[in-house]
Protein backbone atom coordinates (compact mmCIF):
# COMPACT_ATOMS: atom_id res chain seq x y z
CA UNK A 1 0.00 0.00 0.00
CA UNK A 2 1.62 3.25 -1.13
CA UNK A 3 1.35 6.85 0.07
CA UNK A 4 -1.03 7.79 -2.75
CA UNK A 5 -3.50 5.12 -1.64
CA UNK A 6 -3.51 6.54 1.89
CA UNK A 7 -4.10 10.06 0.58
CA UNK A 8 -7.00 8.86 -1.60
CA UNK A 9 -8.45 6.93 1.35
CA UNK A 10 -8.24 10.01 3.58
CA UNK A 11 -9.82 12.12 0.85
CA UNK A 12 -12.64 9.60 0.42
CA UNK A 13 -13.36 9.64 4.16
CA UNK A 14 -13.57 13.43 4.19
CA UNK A 15 -15.92 13.78 1.21
CA UNK A 16 -18.18 11.07 2.67
CA UNK A 17 -18.23 12.57 6.14
CA UNK A 18 -20.62 15.48 5.71
CA UNK A 19 -22.56 17.22 8.45
CA UNK A 20 -25.45 14.77 8.06
CA UNK A 21 -23.11 11.87 8.87
CA UNK A 22 -21.95 13.82 11.92
CA UNK A 23 -25.40 14.03 13.51
CA UNK A 24 -26.87 10.56 12.78
CA UNK A 25 -24.70 8.49 15.21
CA UNK A 26 -25.14 10.61 18.39
CA UNK A 27 -28.90 10.63 17.83
CA UNK A 28 -28.84 6.84 17.46
CA UNK A 29 -26.66 6.53 20.56
CA UNK A 30 -29.05 8.56 22.69
CA UNK A 31 -32.17 6.78 21.44
CA UNK A 32 -30.82 3.22 21.80
CA UNK A 33 -29.45 3.48 25.36
CA UNK A 34 -28.28 0.08 26.61
CA UNK A 35 -28.92 -1.40 23.14
CA UNK A 36 -26.29 0.86 21.56
CA UNK A 37 -23.79 -1.84 20.51
CA UNK A 38 -26.10 -3.89 18.24
CA UNK A 39 -27.65 -0.66 16.91
CA UNK A 40 -24.34 0.96 15.93
CA UNK A 41 -23.20 -2.36 14.43
CA UNK A 42 -26.25 -2.39 12.17
CA UNK A 43 -25.70 1.27 11.31
CA UNK A 44 -22.09 0.61 10.31
CA UNK A 45 -23.12 -2.41 8.22
CA UNK A 46 -25.35 -0.36 5.92
CA UNK A 47 -23.86 3.11 6.46
CA UNK A 48 -20.26 2.02 5.81
CA UNK A 49 -20.30 -1.51 4.39
CA UNK A 50 -22.64 -0.86 1.47
CA UNK A 51 -20.91 2.37 0.33
CA UNK A 52 -17.55 0.55 0.54
CA UNK A 53 -18.93 -2.23 -1.66
CA UNK A 54 -20.23 0.43 -4.07
CA UNK A 55 -16.76 1.96 -4.43
CA UNK A 56 -15.10 -1.44 -4.93
CA UNK A 57 -17.66 -2.58 -7.54
CA UNK A 58 -16.95 0.53 -9.62
CA UNK A 59 -13.31 -0.57 -9.99
CA UNK A 60 -14.38 -3.87 -11.60
CA UNK A 61 -15.33 -1.94 -14.74
CA UNK A 62 -12.73 0.02 -16.71
CA UNK A 63 -15.08 2.97 -17.17
CA UNK A 64 -16.73 2.73 -13.74
CA UNK A 65 -20.50 2.89 -13.39
CA UNK A 66 -20.92 4.70 -16.70
CA UNK A 67 -19.46 1.77 -18.63
CA UNK A 68 -21.27 -0.82 -16.50
CA UNK A 69 -24.68 0.82 -16.92
CA UNK A 70 -24.12 1.60 -20.61
CA UNK A 71 -23.85 -2.17 -21.10
CA UNK A 72 -27.22 -2.74 -19.41
CA UNK A 73 -28.91 0.16 -21.24
CA UNK A 74 -27.30 3.36 -22.57
CA UNK A 75 -30.56 5.30 -22.14
CA UNK A 76 -31.01 4.12 -18.54
CA UNK A 77 -27.35 4.84 -17.80
CA UNK A 78 -27.65 8.43 -18.99
CA UNK A 79 -30.95 9.24 -17.26
CA UNK A 80 -30.06 7.50 -13.99
CA UNK A 81 -26.53 8.89 -13.57
CA UNK A 82 -27.53 12.42 -14.62
CA UNK A 83 -30.38 12.29 -12.08
CA UNK A 84 -28.02 11.02 -9.35
CA UNK A 85 -25.41 13.69 -9.99
CA UNK A 86 -27.89 16.56 -10.30
CA UNK A 87 -29.90 15.53 -7.22
CA UNK A 88 -26.83 14.92 -5.06
CA UNK A 89 -25.05 17.95 -6.49
CA UNK A 90 -26.60 21.35 -7.22
CA UNK A 91 -30.13 20.06 -6.71
CA UNK A 92 -29.65 19.19 -3.04
CA UNK A 93 -26.30 18.13 -1.64
CA UNK A 94 -23.97 21.02 -2.50
CA UNK A 95 -26.22 23.98 -1.50
CA UNK A 96 -27.26 22.07 1.61
CA UNK A 97 -23.64 21.78 2.77
CA UNK A 98 -23.32 25.57 2.65
CA UNK A 99 -26.64 26.14 4.43
CA UNK A 100 -25.77 23.55 7.09
CA UNK A 101 -22.29 24.99 7.61
CA UNK A 102 -23.78 28.44 8.16
CA UNK A 103 -26.56 27.22 10.47
CA UNK A 104 -24.41 24.89 12.61
CA UNK A 105 -20.98 26.53 12.51
CA UNK A 106 -21.49 30.26 12.01
CA UNK A 107 -24.93 31.26 13.33
CA UNK A 108 -24.22 30.19 16.97
CA UNK A 109 -21.13 32.44 16.95
CA UNK A 110 -23.07 35.52 15.80
CA UNK A 111 -24.96 37.87 18.09
CA UNK A 112 -27.32 38.94 15.30
CA UNK A 113 -27.32 36.71 12.18
CA UNK A 114 -28.56 38.39 9.02
CA UNK A 115 -29.25 37.65 5.37
CA UNK A 116 -26.22 39.74 4.41
CA UNK A 117 -23.96 37.68 6.67
CA UNK A 118 -25.35 34.47 5.20
CA UNK A 119 -24.74 35.79 1.68
CA UNK A 120 -21.17 36.80 2.54
CA UNK A 121 -20.39 33.46 4.18
CA UNK A 122 -21.77 31.37 1.31
CA UNK A 123 -19.84 33.53 -1.19
CA UNK A 124 -16.56 32.81 0.62
CA UNK A 125 -17.57 29.17 1.08
CA UNK A 126 -18.13 28.59 -2.64
CA UNK A 127 -15.02 30.54 -3.63
CA UNK A 128 -13.01 28.14 -1.44
CA UNK A 129 -14.90 25.08 -2.75
CA UNK A 130 -14.39 26.19 -6.36
CA UNK A 131 -10.66 26.79 -5.87
CA UNK A 132 -10.21 23.37 -4.28
CA UNK A 133 -12.17 21.68 -7.09
CA UNK A 134 -10.55 23.29 -10.15
CA UNK A 135 -7.76 20.72 -10.39
CA UNK A 136 -8.89 17.15 -9.49
CA UNK A 137 -5.38 15.83 -8.78
CA UNK A 138 -4.55 18.78 -6.53
CA UNK A 139 -7.97 18.41 -4.90
CA UNK A 140 -7.11 14.85 -3.85
CA UNK A 141 -3.81 16.02 -2.34
CA UNK A 142 -5.23 19.10 -0.63
CA UNK A 143 -8.21 17.30 0.86
CA UNK A 144 -6.41 14.02 1.61
CA UNK A 145 -3.13 15.47 2.88
CA UNK A 146 -4.24 18.69 4.58
CA UNK A 147 -7.96 19.09 5.30
CA UNK A 148 -8.65 15.48 6.35
CA UNK A 149 -5.82 15.31 8.94
CA UNK A 150 -7.03 18.61 10.44
CA UNK A 151 -10.62 17.32 10.56
CA UNK A 152 -9.51 14.03 12.13
CA UNK A 153 -7.34 15.88 14.67
CA UNK A 154 -10.32 17.87 15.95
CA UNK A 155 -12.61 14.82 15.98
CA UNK A 156 -9.96 12.72 17.76
CA UNK A 157 -9.44 15.51 20.31
CA UNK A 158 -13.19 15.68 20.92
CA UNK A 159 -13.41 11.92 21.44
CA UNK A 160 -10.33 11.60 23.68
CA UNK A 161 -11.40 14.48 25.93
CA UNK A 162 -14.95 13.11 26.05
CA UNK A 163 -13.82 9.91 27.78
CA UNK A 164 -13.19 11.38 31.27
CA UNK A 165 -16.41 13.41 31.04
CA UNK A 166 -18.76 10.60 30.01
CA UNK A 167 -17.06 7.27 30.84
CA UNK A 168 -18.86 6.94 34.16
CA UNK A 169 -22.33 7.62 32.77
CA UNK A 170 -24.62 4.59 32.54
CA UNK A 171 -26.86 4.62 29.45
CA UNK A 172 -30.58 4.47 30.04
CA UNK A 173 -32.07 0.98 29.87
CA UNK A 174 -34.15 0.89 26.70
CA UNK A 175 -36.57 -1.75 25.49
CA UNK A 176 -36.04 -2.23 21.76
CA UNK A 177 -37.30 -5.38 20.09
CA UNK A 178 -34.75 -5.22 17.27
CA UNK A 179 -31.90 -2.72 17.92
CA UNK A 180 -29.68 -4.23 15.21
CA UNK A 181 -32.47 -3.83 12.63
CA UNK A 182 -33.02 -0.25 13.81
CA UNK A 183 -29.34 0.49 13.17
CA UNK A 184 -29.49 -1.18 9.75
CA UNK A 185 -32.44 1.03 8.74
CA UNK A 186 -30.76 4.20 10.07
CA UNK A 187 -27.60 3.41 8.11
CA UNK A 188 -29.73 2.74 5.03
CA UNK A 189 -31.26 6.22 5.38
CA UNK A 190 -27.87 7.95 5.07
CA UNK A 191 -28.31 7.41 1.27
CA UNK A 192 -24.52 7.01 1.06
CA UNK A 193 -24.73 4.38 -1.68
CA UNK A 194 -25.72 7.19 -4.03
CA UNK A 195 -22.82 9.29 -2.75
CA UNK A 196 -20.46 6.34 -3.26
CA UNK A 197 -21.61 5.99 -6.87
CA UNK A 198 -20.96 9.69 -7.41
CA UNK A 199 -17.58 9.72 -5.64
CA UNK A 200 -16.32 6.55 -7.33
CA UNK A 201 -15.41 8.58 -10.43
CA UNK A 202 -12.96 10.63 -8.33
CA UNK A 203 -11.33 7.57 -6.77
CA UNK A 204 -10.97 5.69 -10.07
CA UNK A 205 -9.60 8.77 -11.86
CA UNK A 206 -7.09 9.48 -9.08
CA UNK A 207 -5.76 5.91 -9.10
CA UNK A 208 -5.73 5.68 -12.91
CA UNK A 209 -3.69 8.91 -13.05
CA UNK A 210 -0.85 6.94 -11.43
CA UNK A 211 -0.83 4.52 -14.38
CA UNK A 212 -2.72 1.79 -12.51
CA UNK A 213 -5.21 -0.49 -14.32
CA UNK A 214 -6.74 -3.98 -14.27
CA UNK A 215 -6.56 -5.99 -11.06
CA UNK A 216 -4.16 -3.47 -9.53
CA UNK A 217 -6.88 -0.81 -9.95
CA UNK A 218 -9.37 -2.96 -8.05
CA UNK A 219 -6.79 -3.72 -5.36
CA UNK A 220 -5.85 -0.08 -4.76
CA UNK A 221 -9.50 1.03 -4.89
CA UNK A 222 -10.34 -1.59 -2.26
CA UNK A 223 -7.41 -0.47 -0.09
CA UNK A 224 -8.40 3.21 -0.33
CA UNK A 225 -12.02 2.27 0.41
CA UNK A 226 -10.97 0.25 3.46
CA UNK A 227 -8.97 3.19 4.81
CA UNK A 228 -12.01 5.45 4.46
CA UNK A 229 -14.26 2.75 5.96
CA UNK A 230 -12.02 2.23 9.01
CA UNK A 231 -11.98 5.97 9.70
CA UNK A 232 -15.77 6.17 9.29
CA UNK A 233 -16.30 3.21 11.64
CA UNK A 234 -14.09 4.83 14.30
CA UNK A 235 -15.80 8.21 14.02
CA UNK A 236 -19.34 6.80 13.88
CA UNK A 237 -18.74 4.54 16.88
CA UNK A 238 -17.00 7.30 18.86
CA UNK A 239 -19.54 10.08 18.38
CA UNK A 240 -22.34 7.54 18.73
CA UNK A 241 -20.80 6.60 22.10
CA UNK A 242 -20.86 10.27 23.13
CA UNK A 243 -24.57 10.42 22.33
CA UNK A 244 -25.10 7.16 24.18
CA UNK A 245 -23.45 8.57 27.31
CA UNK A 246 -25.51 11.76 27.37
CA UNK A 247 -27.95 11.58 30.30
CA UNK A 248 -31.35 11.17 28.65
CA UNK A 249 -33.26 12.85 31.48
CA UNK A 250 -36.57 14.64 31.09
CA UNK A 251 -35.00 18.11 31.32
CA UNK A 252 -32.51 17.38 28.52
CA UNK A 253 -35.14 15.90 26.24
CA UNK A 254 -37.43 18.88 26.87
CA UNK A 255 -34.61 21.27 25.96
CA UNK A 256 -33.93 19.32 22.75
CA UNK A 257 -37.59 19.43 21.67
CA UNK A 258 -38.00 21.11 18.30
CA UNK A 259 -34.28 20.83 17.48
CA UNK A 260 -32.26 18.29 15.54
CA UNK A 261 -31.36 15.82 18.28
CA UNK A 262 -27.93 14.95 16.85
CA UNK A 263 -26.97 18.62 16.52
CA UNK A 264 -28.24 19.36 20.03
CA UNK A 265 -26.19 16.51 21.53
CA UNK A 266 -23.00 17.70 19.82
CA UNK A 267 -23.55 21.27 21.06
CA UNK A 268 -24.07 20.06 24.64
CA UNK A 269 -21.12 17.63 24.50
CA UNK A 270 -18.62 20.16 23.14
CA UNK A 271 -19.69 22.72 25.76
CA UNK A 272 -19.20 20.17 28.55
CA UNK A 273 -15.77 19.19 27.21
CA UNK A 274 -14.30 22.50 26.01
CA UNK A 275 -16.34 25.06 27.92
CA UNK A 276 -16.79 28.37 26.12
CA UNK A 277 -14.47 27.18 23.31
CA UNK A 278 -16.77 24.25 22.59
CA UNK A 279 -18.83 26.05 19.99
CA UNK A 280 -15.68 27.07 18.10
CA UNK A 281 -14.40 23.48 18.08
CA UNK A 282 -17.72 22.18 16.75
CA UNK A 283 -17.77 25.00 14.18
CA UNK A 284 -14.38 23.91 12.79
CA UNK A 285 -15.47 20.25 12.59
CA UNK A 286 -18.76 21.10 10.86
CA UNK A 287 -17.15 23.60 8.49
CA UNK A 288 -14.46 21.14 7.37
CA UNK A 289 -16.97 18.28 7.06
CA UNK A 290 -19.30 20.39 4.90
CA UNK A 291 -16.56 21.96 2.76
CA UNK A 292 -14.85 18.67 1.91
CA UNK A 293 -18.20 17.11 0.96
CA UNK A 294 -19.03 20.08 -1.26
CA UNK A 295 -15.64 19.85 -2.95
CA UNK A 296 -16.11 16.12 -3.54
CA UNK A 297 -19.56 16.62 -5.04
CA UNK A 298 -18.48 19.51 -7.30
CA UNK A 299 -15.49 17.50 -8.52
CA UNK A 300 -17.51 14.32 -9.12
CA UNK A 301 -20.38 15.94 -11.02
CA UNK A 302 -17.98 18.07 -13.11
CA UNK A 303 -15.88 15.03 -14.04
CA UNK A 304 -18.96 13.06 -15.10
CA UNK A 305 -20.53 15.89 -17.10
CA UNK A 306 -17.24 16.76 -18.84
CA UNK A 307 -16.97 13.10 -19.95
CA UNK A 308 -20.58 12.79 -21.16
CA UNK A 309 -21.43 16.31 -22.31
CA UNK A 310 -18.15 17.38 -23.86
CA UNK A 311 -19.25 20.82 -25.05
CA UNK A 312 -17.81 22.37 -21.88
CA UNK A 313 -14.54 21.62 -20.10
CA UNK A 314 -14.20 20.23 -16.59
CA UNK A 315 -13.26 23.65 -15.17
CA UNK A 316 -16.27 25.29 -16.85
CA UNK A 317 -18.59 22.75 -15.22
CA UNK A 318 -16.96 23.47 -11.84
CA UNK A 319 -17.83 27.16 -12.22
CA UNK A 320 -21.36 26.37 -13.45
CA UNK A 321 -22.29 23.98 -10.64
CA UNK A 322 -20.64 26.09 -7.94
CA UNK A 323 -22.57 29.16 -9.13
CA UNK A 324 -25.90 27.30 -9.27
CA UNK A 325 -25.28 25.89 -5.78
CA UNK A 326 -24.39 29.35 -4.44
CA UNK A 327 -27.63 30.80 -5.80
CA UNK A 328 -29.77 27.96 -4.40
CA UNK A 329 -28.03 28.11 -1.02
CA UNK A 330 -29.23 31.71 -0.71
CA UNK A 331 -32.58 31.51 -2.47
CA UNK A 332 -35.12 28.77 -2.81
CA UNK A 333 -33.23 26.04 -0.95
CA UNK A 334 -36.36 24.79 0.84
CA UNK A 335 -38.21 24.45 -2.47
CA UNK A 336 -35.26 22.65 -4.03
CA UNK A 337 -35.03 20.24 -1.09
CA UNK A 338 -38.78 19.58 -1.28
CA UNK A 339 -38.33 18.52 -4.90
CA UNK A 340 -34.97 16.77 -4.62
CA UNK A 341 -35.60 14.55 -1.59
CA UNK A 342 -38.39 12.54 -3.32
CA UNK A 343 -36.07 12.17 -6.33
CA UNK A 344 -33.34 10.79 -4.05
CA UNK A 345 -35.85 8.40 -2.46
CA UNK A 346 -36.76 7.14 -5.94
CA UNK A 347 -33.12 6.77 -7.00
CA UNK A 348 -31.88 4.98 -3.86
CA UNK A 349 -33.66 1.61 -4.34
CA UNK A 350 -32.68 1.71 -8.01
CA UNK A 351 -29.03 2.24 -7.03
CA UNK A 352 -29.07 -0.74 -4.67
CA UNK A 353 -30.71 -2.88 -7.36
CA UNK A 354 -28.01 -1.80 -9.82
CA UNK A 355 -25.36 -2.97 -7.33
CA UNK A 356 -27.08 -6.35 -6.95
CA UNK A 357 -27.31 -6.73 -10.74
CA UNK A 358 -23.65 -5.83 -11.29
CA UNK A 359 -22.49 -8.14 -8.52
CA UNK A 360 -24.68 -10.87 -9.98
CA UNK A 361 -23.09 -10.37 -13.39
CA UNK A 362 -19.59 -10.64 -11.93
CA UNK A 363 -20.08 -13.37 -9.32
CA UNK A 364 -22.60 -15.79 -10.84
CA UNK A 365 -23.00 -14.51 -14.41
CA UNK A 366 -26.54 -13.21 -14.02
CA UNK A 367 -28.03 -12.94 -17.54
CA UNK A 368 -28.39 -9.46 -18.97
CA UNK A 369 -32.15 -10.05 -19.33
CA UNK A 370 -32.40 -10.71 -15.58
CA UNK A 371 -30.40 -7.57 -14.79
CA UNK A 372 -32.63 -5.46 -17.01
CA UNK A 373 -35.88 -6.97 -15.72
CA UNK A 374 -35.10 -6.50 -12.02
CA UNK A 375 -33.92 -2.91 -12.56
CA UNK A 376 -36.97 -2.07 -14.70
CA UNK A 377 -39.42 -3.42 -12.12
CA UNK A 378 -37.71 -1.57 -9.27
CA UNK A 379 -37.75 1.68 -11.28
CA UNK A 380 -41.52 1.33 -11.66
CA UNK A 381 -42.29 0.42 -8.04
CA UNK A 382 -39.88 3.03 -6.67
CA UNK A 383 -41.63 5.80 -8.60
CA UNK A 384 -45.11 4.52 -7.72
CA UNK A 385 -44.24 4.11 -4.03
CA UNK A 386 -42.64 7.54 -3.58
CA UNK A 387 -45.15 9.50 -5.65
CA UNK A 388 -48.11 7.53 -4.28
CA UNK A 389 -47.06 8.23 -0.70
CA UNK A 390 -46.82 11.96 -1.46
CA UNK A 391 -50.32 11.85 -2.99
CA UNK A 392 -51.73 10.13 0.09
CA UNK A 393 -52.52 6.76 -1.49
CA UNK A 394 -53.21 4.61 1.57
CA UNK A 395 -52.55 1.27 -0.15
CA UNK A 396 -48.88 2.18 -0.57
CA UNK A 397 -48.39 1.62 3.18
CA UNK A 398 -49.61 -1.97 2.76
CA UNK A 399 -46.78 -2.96 0.40
CA UNK A 400 -44.51 -5.69 1.85
CA UNK A 401 -41.51 -4.23 3.76
CA UNK A 402 -42.81 -0.66 3.29
CA UNK A 403 -42.37 0.04 7.00
CA UNK A 404 -38.61 -0.47 6.53
CA UNK A 405 -38.58 1.48 3.22
CA UNK A 406 -37.56 -1.72 1.44
CA UNK A 407 -40.77 -2.38 -0.48
CA UNK A 408 -38.65 -2.54 -3.64
CA UNK A 409 -36.85 -5.74 -2.58
CA UNK A 410 -39.64 -8.28 -3.34
CA UNK A 411 -40.12 -6.64 -6.74
CA UNK A 412 -36.38 -6.89 -7.45
CA UNK A 413 -36.54 -10.63 -6.72
CA UNK A 414 -39.62 -11.06 -8.92
CA UNK A 415 -37.94 -9.07 -11.69
CA UNK A 416 -34.85 -11.26 -11.53
CA UNK A 417 -36.99 -14.41 -11.74
CA UNK A 418 -38.87 -13.01 -14.75
CA UNK A 419 -35.55 -12.16 -16.39
CA UNK A 420 -34.20 -15.68 -15.81
CA UNK A 421 -37.41 -17.12 -17.29
CA UNK A 422 -37.04 -14.92 -20.38
CA UNK A 423 -33.39 -15.94 -20.71
CA UNK A 424 -34.41 -19.62 -20.53
CA UNK A 425 -37.19 -19.19 -23.12
CA UNK A 426 -35.00 -17.22 -25.52
CA UNK A 427 -31.86 -19.25 -24.75
CA UNK A 428 -30.14 -15.91 -24.19
CA UNK A 429 -27.66 -16.29 -21.32
CA UNK A 430 -25.38 -13.40 -22.30
CA UNK A 431 -24.13 -11.41 -19.28
Confidence of residue 255 (pLDDT cuts 50, 70, 90): low
Measured distance CA(384)–CA(350) in Å, rounded: 13
Convert 386-421 to b/e letters by CB count within 10 Å (16 or more is b).
bebbeeeeeebeebeeeeeebbbbebbeebbebbbe
The CA–CA distances, whole Å, from 204 to 86, 247, 322 equal 20, 44, 23
The CA–CA distances, whole Å, from 119 to 30, 100, 114, 154, 329 equal 35, 13, 9, 27, 9
What's the mean pLDDT when you consider all of the chain? 90
Q: Which helix (H) or strand (E) holds 420?
A: helix 408-426
Q: Which residue has the higher pLDDT, 174 or 345?
A: 345
Write out pLDDT tens, residues 136-183: 989 999 999 999 999 999 999 999 999 888 877 777 666 677 889 889
Task: Write 203-206 long-range contacts (CB < 8 A, 24+).
Answer: 203/8, 203/12, 203/55, 203/58, 203/59, 204/58, 204/59, 204/64, 205/136, 205/303, 206/4, 206/8, 206/11, 206/136, 206/137, 206/140
Burial of 112 (0-12, 13-18, 19+ CB in 10 A): exposed
Write out pLDDT tens, residues 210-227: 888 889 999 999 999 999
What stretch(es) of the chain map to CATH 1.20.1740.10? 3-331
Measured distance CA(246)–CA(169) in Å, rounded: 8
Q: Give the pLDDT score at 173.
A: 64
Looking at the predicted structure, is the pLDDT value of residue 3 above 60?
A: yes
Handedness of CA 384, 387, 389, 391 (dihedral sign): negative
Confidence of residue 109 (pLDDT cuts 50, 70, 90): confident
Mutual angle of helices 115-133 and 314-330, in 10-degree steps: 160
Provide mean pLDDT across the span 23-31: 88
Closest to 243 measured CA to CA, from 44, 34, 31, 47: 31
Measured distance CA(188)–CA(47) in Å, rounded: 6
Cβ–Cβ contacts within 10 Å for residue 268, how many? 19
Closest to 21 measured CA to CA, from 246, 232, 298: 232
Looking at the predicted structure, is the pLDDT value of residue 250 above 60?
A: no
Looking at the predicted structure, is the pLDDT value of residue 260 above 80?
A: no
| CB of 42 closer than 8 Å to CB of 183 | yes
Predicted TM-score of the model (pTM) = 0.92
The three-state (H, E, C) secondary structure of 249-308, written as one string = CHHHHHHHCCCCHHHHHHHHHHHHHHHHHHHHHHHHHHHHHHHHHHHHHHHHHHHHHHHH
Superfamily of domain 3-331: Amino acid/polyamine transporter I (1.20.1740.10)
| CB of 133 closer than 8 Å to CB of 147 | no
The SS3 of residue 247 is: coil
Measured distance CA(25)–CA(4) in Å, rounded: 30
Residues 6+ apart with CB under 8 A from 247: 169
Residues 6+ apart with CB under 8 A from 47: 21, 24, 186, 187, 188, 190, 192, 232, 236
Handedness of CA 224, 226, 231, 235 (dihedral sign): positive
* Nearest-5° Cα angle at 334, 280 to 130: 60
Q: Which residue has the higher pLDDT, 137 or 73?
A: 73
Amino acid sequence: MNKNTFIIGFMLFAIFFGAGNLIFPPKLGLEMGSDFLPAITGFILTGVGLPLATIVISSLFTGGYKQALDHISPAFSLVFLVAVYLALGPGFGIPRTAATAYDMAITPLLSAPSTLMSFGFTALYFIAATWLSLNPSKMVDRVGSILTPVLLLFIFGLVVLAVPHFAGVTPAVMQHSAPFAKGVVEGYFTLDILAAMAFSVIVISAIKSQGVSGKALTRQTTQAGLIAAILLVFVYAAIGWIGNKMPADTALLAEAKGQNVGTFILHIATEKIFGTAGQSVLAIIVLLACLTSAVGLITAISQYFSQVFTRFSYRTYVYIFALISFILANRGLDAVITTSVPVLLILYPIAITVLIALMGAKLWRMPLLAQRAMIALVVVISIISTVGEKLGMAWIAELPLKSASMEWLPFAIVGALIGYALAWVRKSWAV
